[in-house]
Each structure stands twice: as structure tokens, then as C-alpha cells.
Structure 1
Amino acid sequence: MIWYFSLCNILMIYLFIISFFMFVLGMYFAMNDVIYFIEYELFMVSGSQFIMTLLFDWMSLIFMSFVMFISSFIIYYSKGYMMGDVTINRFIILVLMFIFSMMFLIVSPNLISILLGWDGLGLISYCLVIYYQNVKSFNAGMITALSNRIGDSMLLMSIAWMFSYGSWNYFMYIDFFSFNYDINMIMMFIVIAAMTSSAQIPFSSWLPAAMAAPTPVSSLVHSSTLVTAGVYLLIRFNPLYSNSILSYFLMFFSMITMFMAGICANFEFDLKKIIALSTLSQLGLMMSILSFGYIYLSFFHLLTHAMFKALLFMCSGVFIHSLSNCQDIRFFGNLFKQMPLTCICFMISSFCLCGIPFLSGFYSKDIILESCSIGYLNFFTYFLFYFSTGLTVSYSIRLIYYLFISEFSFYSYHSVSDENWFMLIGMFIMVIFSVFGGSALSWILFSSPISIFMPFYLKFMVIFFCLMGAFFGYIVNKFNLLDILYNFMFNNVCLYFGTMWFMPYVTINTSYSSLLMGFRLNKSFDYGWFEFLGGQGLFFMFSYLSLFNQKIQNNIFNLFFIFIFFWFIFIMLI
């Protein structure tokens, strides 16, 4: 145990120092427009060079510094959260391998090395999701791994398609590809791969299922590693698809994902799944702003979102840890008296998520929404953007109401306190960066202040939708309107919106025929489709074959005489 404590401390200090060094180096690269490109040729086959390539510019260095910084405090946070776990060494090693895979993907401009980092993220995420070895974790790990395998297959096809060009360094062929039809097929594969990693529709069901992992893993995955890999990949590939039909394709699915996640989060009662759906909503926002060509705004929101989302998961882990692994928010209530420090951190991170002025989320979300307002958007796109923003405030207020404002639950009376300083110290550091990180990043990333002039009613549209979302979230949960609608009037509609538009049932369970029955979707197999097609499927197949073999053996004499008869007729005809 002493060795484990010292290991967490050493890793935290080591990652924090590397993070600080990379951030300073990234600012130097940004101010002086410096790019280092390192190549090492491994071997050559048929004129195609297999090269180990590393790209160091301001974007990759700053992103790596954020990943290292968040990972350092999450490892220190795990020191308190995973206390008493006998397999903690395996957990720390898996987290380090996960961080290394993300680092490898960030600095790789070569599709083959990107695929190696992508595969590492997918494989290690499976190992982390099934860390608690039970049936639920197994199913969640399989749907996570197989969803990422779709992205692997897309990257493999893009690699095969680029084989005839002699290299897989995508940025070397930007000017050439702009006049070539092949870029449409290659970029279609890349966009689909990014959609699988960032859980866009129709690949959204794995993100809430991955909540079976320990909370420190969820904090790392949903802030700066696995789910942001697809966004970062599209930021790098943006010049190759920004003026094509793929941008409209990406814009449609990302906006629908943002809207769907906001709706579902208002119906969910699992604390970690609500935060996971908020991550899905923010990923849809990043993808949609990418489809408009604002890559730096998307990268800016990616960094600010990483800080307060890591803090949000860390606070939820303290709540779950204190309440004996209970994640149902209906068992929470009035926690502010027992856990004031954690509740303050949670409210600050929720306000950052809502975009409250002068917090980190405000500096990125406000610029994004106003940039969309001055663009050429139709009413449907404009409405989805702002309505989804209101839904973000709505489920955040709903979460705050259930945790802090609602009546005190009897179950939450046990062992609720702010005593684990390993987790609190990490959260306090993240609070500082969640409050001041947005303004600092806006001064660093943008060479001049961004000022957008619009009419009064458009300028205050963001504030209006945020206030309406907060009012809706409080009123609905204060008077239990969702329960009333669910019990008396629109139970099928509520079930539809509360189950991610039936996507988990299609991708996880085998009850396809029950899709025709709507509300009876819950009557599906307990173990999901993988168990049905895996262990249970093999059992039923071998049982059928054994019964078939037994029937053949029971009728062996009849078959013997029939074969002799046909053979005799065949001989006579010859």
C-alpha cells in the first residue's frame, strides 16, 4: 500500500511537470509559428514508405499538455477513490497505457501511426470498462470495443485507398487531393471513424454504456482522451472535407446528436449517465462547429470542456463513493449540509457547462453560438443550436435540484462527508482552472480579441434560452411533471426520448421484433445480443446439431437401405 501511494504521487508529479513543459513549449510554438516534423523510415514496399512520423506544433503540444495535466490529477484522485482495491497496480498501468495511446494519436500525422494509437485507445478502453468484472461491465465493454472497431475498419480502408499515393502523411497531399475525386471516399471513411469515436448518431449507445468503468476512468475518457480523439482527427483533416458534401452530412448528424443527448439527459436518473449524455451533447456541438469550418473554435471548446467535465466526473465520483456506490439521483438530496466543498465544486463545474458568464465554458460557447448566428443557417439549424443550449441548462438545473435542493433522502444519511482529501485536492485544482482557464486560453489561442456585433434580440438569444432552460428544468422537477406525463399521458413518448431513441436496444439487445411494439422494448434478453450470438448461440447451435445427429443415428438403417436402393438404380441406368 505504501508503494502504491508513492507510485501515485510520483506519477502525478511527473505528469504535471511534463504538462507544464509542453504548455510553455506550445505557447512558444504558437507565438513564433514553429512546427517540428520528425520522420524515421522503417522500410519500403512497392514504392510506399513505411515511416514513423511525429508532428509537433502548437495545437498538438497544448492538447498533450491538457491531457497530461488532467491525467495527473485523476491519478492522484484515484489514490483516494480506489483505496483498498487489491488490483490497483493493474488499474494504474492501464491508465498510463491509455494516456500513452492518446499521446501517440495526437502527435501522429500518418494514418498508420494514427491507427496504432486508435487501436490502443479501443483495446485499453475495453480493459478499463470491464474492470469491475460482471455481466453489465462485459456487455458495456463489448459494445464499446466493437463500436471502436468500426472506426478501425474505416481507417484501414482509408489506408488501403491511400496506398497508391506512396505515403500516408495526409497534409502533404492537401493541394493534390483538392483536385482529386478519391478524397471524397477517403474523407468519408475518416468522418465515419471520427463519428464512432465521438459517439455521434447512430453510434451513440456505447457512450452511456461505458459508464460501467470506474469513475476516474470515466473522468479521463469523457474529458480529454477517447471521445475527443474523433474531434481532434477531424480538426487535423478539416482542409480536406470543409468544402464538400461531407460537411453537411457531419453537420446534420452532429446537431441531431446534440439535440437527442439534451433531451435524454432530462429523462435519465443515473448520475454518471446524465454527465455522459452531457458529454455527448458537447461532442455534438464540437462536431457541428467543425462542419462550419471553425476549427479553432472547436479546439478552444475542446480544451475548456475537458477541464470542467473532468471536474464534474470527479465530484460525481465523490458522491457515489460516499453513498455506497449508489448512482440514482432520486436517493440523493440536500447534500450541501454534509458535503459543502464537493457541492461547491460540482456547482461551479455545472455552471461552466451551462455557459454562465466569465466562467470557462462561457468564453467558448458564447463565441460558438454567436458565430453560428452570423452565418448562413436556416431556421431548423438555428433552432437546434439554441434549443440544445437551453436543454443543457435544463438538465444541469435538474441535477442540482435533485442533489442539493430536494428533500433529504434517508438513504443518503450514511457516510456522507468531505473527508477524503486525496479527491478534494485534485478537485480544488481543477476548480481553479475551470474558472480561469477559459479566459486564459482565449488570450493565448487568439491573436486579437473576438468581438461580434449583432442586433439586440440576437445578442441576448443565448441568455434567453439559458434562462428558459433553467426555468423549465426547475419547474418540471419541482412539480414532478415528467412523472405525471409518464404515468398518465405520454408514456410511450417519454420512453422514446428517455432511451436515446431506442438506439441501445437496437445495438445491444436482440429483441428486434419488439421494435414493432414500441413500449415493450424493455422485454429483451437479459444478457444482450453478444451473449445471444456468443455463448448462448453456440449452446443452441450445438444442441440442435446433436439432436439432428441423434435423429440420423436412430434412422440409420432406413437411410442405409434408401442409399442402397438409389445406388442400385444408378448402376442399372449405367
Structure 2
Amino acid sequence: MKFLNICMLSFIKLMIISLISFSLSMYFMLNELVYFLEWEVLFINSSSIVFTFLFDWMCLLFMSFVLFISSLVIFYSMEYMMGDNNMNRFVLLVLMFVLSMMLLIISPNLISILLGWDGLGLVSYCLVIYFQNVKSYNAGMLTALSNRIGDVALLLAIAWMLNYGSWNYVFFIEVMKMSFEMQIIGGLIMMAAMTKSAQIPFSSWLPAAMAAPTPVSALVHSSTLVTAGIYLLIRFNILLVDNLLGKFLLLISGLTMFMAGLGANYEFDLKKIIALSTLSQLGLMMSILSMGFYKLAFFHLLTHALFKALLFMCAGSIIHNMNNFQDIRYMGNLSIFMPLTSSCFNVANLALCGMPFLAGFYSKDLILEIVSYSYVNLFSFFLFFFSTGLTVSYSFRLVYYTMTDSLNCGSLNMLNDEGWIMLKGMFGLLIMSIMGGSLLNWLMFSSLYVINLPWYLKLLTLFICLMGGLCGYLVSNVSLYFINKSFTYYNVTYFLGSMWFMPYISTYGLIGFPLNYGFLVIKSFDQGWSELMGARFLTMLLINYSKINTDFYNNNLKLYFMTMIIWIVLLVLLMMFIM
């Protein structure tokens, strides 16, 4: 009962703050306001430590979405985490997670950004290892160590910004954007964003983080942890325009989008399919951001947060009812057993695919038309459109396995739609997944721009989506009932289905080798030669001298005379040798 009270209180407070933040963002947007708040934490001998907060329409709108989704996730957890023994700890961890994200969003200062950034990393580790087993511990360690690379890059950027005399980058980023130092800082910030948003070669931690509870996955993969890198790059977007950094990021993010789309078509774990879908959408945001369209990236970030949180909530409800089965091959005919959950699931899937007039359509279609309109090379053009086709393909494959045919789990099942608390949490996001794209489109882009394209480019997006959906459905059907070609070309399947061997490279290469090498260094130097020639040698020397002193203090005259004779003989020999 105490847990329910805490959840309900958190839900109400977060929802109220979210609505206030949304109203303020509209006010700031219409009046084009930007507020800086400076809090002087400490003042000693003419040196002051000042904490700065930045409030503009972008940060307030993002805060409102994060708080809205987190409030519904906490409400949803009231039923999903009901049987857990540490439910208060779970809610407090989620609230700490949201607080770290808030600090990151409103910080124009790299030091305070680092506080929020590391807060996200630390609390995400605690949430990934929440179910305490070996798999969770491994996933948590992979997540933490992969993100430490980005933390180090951020620390280096902080050190380099000492050249400017301030860490408030917003004051001089416009002026200094052409300087070589700012390009180095931009490269380090880009490295930090690539680790946090899981771009190649740091992608393997994102599916591994699925070891966390499903409500946490809904929060992490929609609006908090993985979007932190995107948001940071949106703030530093000036440094990516018309230079090598932007071109490099375009290539990496395009390949990430392509790799994640291919991997999801070979995956059978329900949560990992949705995680790879998140990775694909993060690649899409990064790539359009690297082309200089930061508002479009932000628009897709917000719409994606809505339907991806809904998708994870529906997946959690399905897993909850299936007695913790996550393999989609065990599922089937869920539209009969769980009609409301299935409806929400299908709406979220269609929004992800870019179905006209759902939330995802307004951002994805606009991004693809801008790509068609922009000066972009053929390879990047192919990656954009083919990855969109792959998105629709794995979405329809997921629908085929979960919604059609018969249930493969067992003859006796207790599948139902009676989890009303979970359903109420999902309905809040369902409404926003239908209306959110249109609402944001009218709010963010007040001036209408007409994109004039040839008819074949206008229809290309729709054609790619239809072909992707058809391929996803037919290939699943054919491979399930007639012949499975994936075993014929097993090596290719293994390569594409394992994220291009990235988990193995990350665990054995990026993490395994340094840890093993560090162990050898410690054994050889710190606990080896350094110990023998340093502390241990000094200890043995002092012990031996102490023994000699003890013998002297014991008035052992025999020893004293023997020592005297030895010293006299040594002196005589030395004198003879000198002469």
C-alpha cells in the first residue's frame, strides 16, 4: 500500500510539472524568450562558483515530454512491479534517473552537464542490474564501461575549454565555431554523444541493457538515456555544419541505422527487436542532425519518444501475461486474447513505420523529403530509404509472429486484458501517439514550407514502406512454413543477426583486452616488481635492522665484539686497498 501511495504521488506531481513545463514552453516559443538563471553556490575571496540554468522553448518542451512519459511509466509500474520486494527502491531510482535527465537538459555549462551525464550513467547501471543475476551484471558492466568512454571524452572537452576561461559554451559557440580548438571540442562532444546514443562502434550495450525491468526500458529507450547524446549534439549543432565532423557523423549514423534495421529482422527476442528499432531511429536522428537540420532531429526525437514508450509498455504487458516469455515464436493470436493491448501495440508499430497521420509520419516523412531535397550522396540516400524499408519490414514481421496464427506457448494460458492500471498508462501514450505528431508539427513549424519534388520522389517513401511491410510479412510466412533460407546461408545470417559481431568486439576487444591487460600489469608491476623492490624490500630491510637493534639492546656483548672485529677487519682491508 505504501508503494502504491508513493507511485500515485510521484505520478500526480510529475504530470502537473509536465503540464506547467509544456505551457511555459509554448509561452517561450510564441514570445521568443530565453532565460538564464544563475545561482551563486559559493563565494570565497573574490572567487565565485556559479550554477547556471538555461530555459528556452526547446529545453522546456523536452522536459515536459520526459516528465509526461516518466509519470505514465511510474503509474504503469504500480501493477507491473507489484510482486517485487524492493519497489520503493525502484521508484526512487526512476526518480533519480529523471532528475539527472532534467539537470542535463537545463544546463548550458559542461560541468553541470557532466553531473547529469554521470548521474544517468550511474543510475542506469543500478537499473540494468536491478534483477540480480549474472546476465544482468554482465549487461550492466557492458553498459557502464561503454559509456565511460564518452564520459572521458566529455572530461577532455571540459579540460580543453579552459582555453576559453568559461565552461558556458552557449556564450561563445557562435563566435568560436571556426576556430581549431572548437573543432576539437566538437569532436570530443561528438564522441561522448556517440557512446551515449549507441552509434557504431558502441552499439552493443543498447540491446544488452534490456536486462532492466520493462518500465525502465520504456523510459530509457524513449526519452532519457539514449536521447541525451542527441540532445547534447542539438545544443552543439553549429559545430557539425559544413565540416568533416558532420560528414563523419552522417556516415556512422547511416551505417548504425542500416545495421540495426538488418539485425532486428533476424532477432526473436521481443524487447531486443524494439531496442534495435530504437537504435535505428537514433541513427536517423543523428544523420539528419549531421546534415544541419537540428529542429527536424528534435521533432523526431519527441514523436519517437511517444510511440516507443507505448511500444515498450505494450511489450511489457504481453511479457507479463506470457509468464515472462520474450521469444516471439512462442506468441501468436494475441489480438484475440488481448485486444486492447494489441490495438495499442499495432498503433505504436504503425506510428514507427510512418503510417500517414500518426505521430511518426509527420517527422519521418518530412526527414525523408528533406533528404531527397538536400545535396546528399547516393550512398547516404540509399541508407536513409533502405533503412526505412527495413523498419517497416521488422514491424510487420513482429505483427505476423505476435498477432496471427495460433498461440504456441501452451494449451492452458491465462492471457487477458484485465491489467487496468497498465492499460490506463498505455492509453495516455496512445492518444499522444495518434495526435502528438500533428500537434508538434503545428507548434514547432509555424511557417509552412512547401517541398517541391518530382512525383516519383514524393511517392518513393510510401512505396518503400509498402514494399518493406510486404517483404517482412511474406519472408516471415515463407520462412516459417515452407523453407528457412537463413540456415542455408548461416554465416551471413549470423553476421547480420549479431549486429555485425559488435557485441563480441565490444566485450572481447574494447572491454576484455584492456581488463586482461590491466590484470597482467597489476600482477607484474604493482603486485610484482614494484612490490618486491619497493614496499616489501623496504619492509624486510627495516625488519632486519630492527632485529640487529634488538640484539644490541639485549646487551649481547659477544655479538657486539664480533661486530666490532668485523668492522675493524673491513677498515684495515679498505685502507690496504687504498694504499
| Structures share fold, TM-score greater than 0.5 | yes
Partner residue of 1:340? 339
Unaligned runs of 5+ in 1: 513-527, 550-570
Tell me, what secondary structure is at the counterpart of 2:376? coil
Contact 2:346 2:399 in 1 (8 A): yes
User: What's 2:281 paired with?
Assistant: 282
Q: Does 1:292 align with 2:291?
A: yes
- 1:41 Cα offset (Å): 3.6
Q: Measure the CA separation in 1 of the matches of 2:67 and 2:154.
A: 26
Distance 1:45 1:430, change over 3 A: same
Note closer, same or farther for the CA distance 1:506–1:305 as it changes in structure 2 (3 Å cut). same
Per the alignment, do residues 531 and 9 of structure 1 end up closer, same or farther by CA in structure 2, a change over 3 Å counting? farther
Structure 2 equivalent of residue 60 of structure 1? 59
Structure 2 residue 381 is the aligned partner of structure 1 residue 382: yes
Instruction: State how 1:477-492 maps to structure 2 within 5 Å.
Output: 477-480=476-479, 484-488=484-488, 490-492=489-491
Q: Name 1:72's counterpart in structure 2.
A: 71
8 Å CA contact retained: 2:174, 2:238: no
| Corresponding residue number in structure 1 for 2:206 | 207
Distance in 1, matches of 2:379 and 2:436, equals 33
Q: Structure 1's 467 and 137: CA in aligned 2 closer, same or farther, altered over 3 A?
A: same
Higher-Rg structure is 2
Residue 243 (structure 1) shift: 2.6
Give the equivalent residue in structure 2 for 1:310: 309
Counterpart-to-counterpart distance in 2, 1:190 and 1:77 = 35
Match of 2:430 in 1: 431
TM-aligned CA distance change 1:447 to 1:185, over 3 Å: same
Which runs of at least 4 in structure 1 moved beyond 6 Å after TM superposition? 44-49, 534-542
* Secondary structure at 1:487 match in 2: coil
1:454 aligns with 2:453: yes
State whether residues 267 and 498 of structure 1, in contact with CA within 8 Å, keep that contact through their aligned partners in structure 2: yes
Paired residues of 1:48 and 1:167 also in contact (CA < 8 A):
no
**d(CA) in 1 for partners of 2:328, 2:520:** 37
CA distance in 1, matches of 2:518, 2:3: 38
Distance 1:69 1:332 in 2: 31
Q: Any conservation in 2 of the 1:115–1:155 contact (CA below 8 Å)? A: yes
Tell whether the 8 Å contact from 1:208 to 1:276 is kept in structure 2 after alignment.
yes
Q: Aligned with 1:350: secondary structure? A: helix
d(CA) in 2 for partners of 1:18, 1:218:
22
CA contact (8 A) 1:49 1:167 kept: no
Q: Which residue pairs with 1:112 in the alignment?
A: 111
Deviation at 1:540, TM superposition (A): 10
Instruction: Tell me the CA shift for residue 177 of structure 1.
Output: 1.0
Partners of 1:540 and 1:415 lie apart in 2 by: 56
Residue aligning to 2:367: 368
1:43 to partner: Cα distance: 5.2
SS of the aligned residue for 1:454 comes to: coil
2:248 corresponds to: 249
Superposed displacement of residue 39, structure 1: 1.4
In structure 1, C-alpha distance between the alignment counterparts of 2:514 and 2:213, rounded to whole Å: 23
Structure 1 residue 3: Cα displacement: 1.2
Q: Choose 448-457 or 417-426, whichever is displaced more.
A: 448-457
User: Is the alpha carbon distance of 1:65 and 1:310 closer, same or farther for their aligned partners in structure 2, counting shifts above 3 Å?
Assistant: same
Change in CA separation of 1:437 and 1:50 when aligned onto 2, cut-off 3 Å:
same
Q: What secondary structure does 1:55 align onto?
A: strand
In the alignment, residue 301 of structure 2 is paired with which amino acid?
L
Distance 1:246 1:117 in 2: 25
Indicate the residue corresponding to 1:34 in structure 2: 33
CA shift for structure 1 position 146: 1.0
Correspondence for 1:567: none
1:124 aligns to 2:123 (yes or no): yes
Contact 1:47–1:166 at 8 Å: present in 2 too?
A: no
User: Is 1:333–1:412's contact at 8 Å kept on the other side of the alignment?
Assistant: no
Larger displacement relative to structure 2 (232-241 or 304-313)? 232-241
Structure 2, unpaired ranges of 5+? 533-573
Report if aligned partners of 2:177, 2:183 keep a CA contact under 8 Å in 1: no
1:199 and 1:205 in contact (8 A); partners too: yes
Which secondary structure state, in structure 1, belongs to the residue aligned with residue 261 of structure 2? helix
Against the structure 1 CA distance between its residues 108 and 396, is the aligned structure 2 distance closer, same or farther, given a 3 Å change threshold?
Answer: same
Quote the Cα distance in structure 2 between the aligned partners of 1:448 and 1:365.
Answer: 19
Residues 535 and 192 of structure 1: CA distance in aligned 2, closer, same or farther (over 3 Å): closer
1:80 corresponds to which letter in structure 2?
Answer: E
Structure 1 residue 415 displacement after superposition: 1.8
Number of the residue aligned with 2:318: 319
Distance in 1 separating the partners of 2:130 and 2:69: 21
Query: Relative to structure 1, is the Cα distance of residues 309 and 277 closer, same or farther in structure 2, using a 3 angstrom cutoff?
Result: same
Q: For residue 85 of structure 2, give the secondary structure of its aligned residue in structure 1.
A: coil
Alpha-carbon distance, 1:171 to partner: 1.3
Pair 531,171 (structure 1): closer, same or farther in 2 beyond 3 Å: closer
Match of 1:161 in 2: 160
Identity of aligned residues (%): 58
Partner of 1:7: 6
Residue 46 and residue 361 in structure 1: after superposition, are their counterparts in 2 closer, same or farther (change >3 A)? farther
Give how far 1:451 is off. 2.6
Whether the aligned pair in 1 keeps the contact of 2:143 and 2:209 (CA below 8 Å) is yes
Paired position in structure 2 for 1:508: 507
CA gap of 1:541–1:85, structure 2 versus 1, over 3 A, is: farther
Gap change, CA 1:38 and 1:330, over 3 Å in 2? same
1:266 aligns with 2:256: no
8 Å CA contact retained: 1:48, 1:166: no
CA distance 1:496–1:449, shift in 2 (3 Å)? same
Cα distance in 1, alignment partners of residues 273 and 407 from structure 2: 21
Match of 1:558 in 2: none
CA distance in 1, matches of 2:337, 2:306: 25
Give the direction of change, closer, same or farther, for the CA distance of 1:296–1:308 in structure 2 (3 Å limit). Answer: same
The DSSP-based 3-state class of the residue aligned with 1:40 is strand
- 445-454 vs 231-240, which deviates more? 445-454
Structure-2 change in CA distance of 1:476 and 1:102 (3 Å): same
Question: How big is the shift at 1:411?
Answer: 2.9
Task: Report SS of the residue matched to 2:395.
Answer: helix
2:236 matched to which residue of 1?
237
Cα deviation digits, residues 256-288 of structure 1 (max 9, x gap): 000000000000000000000000000000000
* Aligned partners of 1:121 and 1:226 also within 8 Å: yes
How far apart are residue 6 of structure 1 and its match? 1.3
**SS of aligned partner of 1:337:** helix
Q: Judge conservation of contact 1:198–1:227 (CA < 8 Å) in 2.
A: yes
Say whether 1:406 aligns with 2:405. Answer: yes
Q: Distance in 2 between matches of 1:415 and 1:536?
A: 50
Which digits, 9 at most, give the CA deviation of each residue in 1:304-335, with x for residues without a partner?
Answer: 00000000000000011111111000000111
For 1:205, give the aligned amino acid. S
Distance in structure 1 (CA, Å) of the matches to 2:311 and 2:251: 28
* Shift, 1:534, TM fit: 11
Q: Does 1:476 align with 2:505?
A: no
CA distance in 2, matches of 1:410, 1:541: 54
Quote the Cα distance in structure 2 between the aligned partners of 1:534 and 1:5. 48
Question: Which amino acid in structure 1 is aligned with residue 68 of structure 2?
Answer: F
After superposition, the C-alpha distances for 1:390-440 in whole angstroms (9 at most, x for unaligned) are 000000000000000133214385221111111000001110000001001
Cα separation, partners in 2 of 1:34 and 1:395, compared to 1, 3 Å: same
Residue pair 2:310, 2:430 contacting (<8 A) in 1 also? yes
> Take 1:244 and 1:47, find their aligned partners in 2: how far apart are those partners?
41
Q: 2:486 is aligned with what amino acid?
A: Y
Q: Structure 1 counterpart of 2:198, which letter?
A: A
SS of equivalent to 1:52: strand
AA of the residue aligned to 1:500:
M
Closer/same/farther in 2, CA of residues 372 and 49 from structure 1, 3 Å limit? farther
- Structure 1 residue aligned with 2:137: 138
Residue 98 (structure 1) aligns with: 97
Q: Deviations over 1:529-562 (max 9, x none)?
A: 49984999899999x99xxx9xxxxxxxxxxxxx
Residue matched to 2:462: 463
Counterpart CA distance in 2 for 1:45 and 1:348 is 58
Aligned length: 530
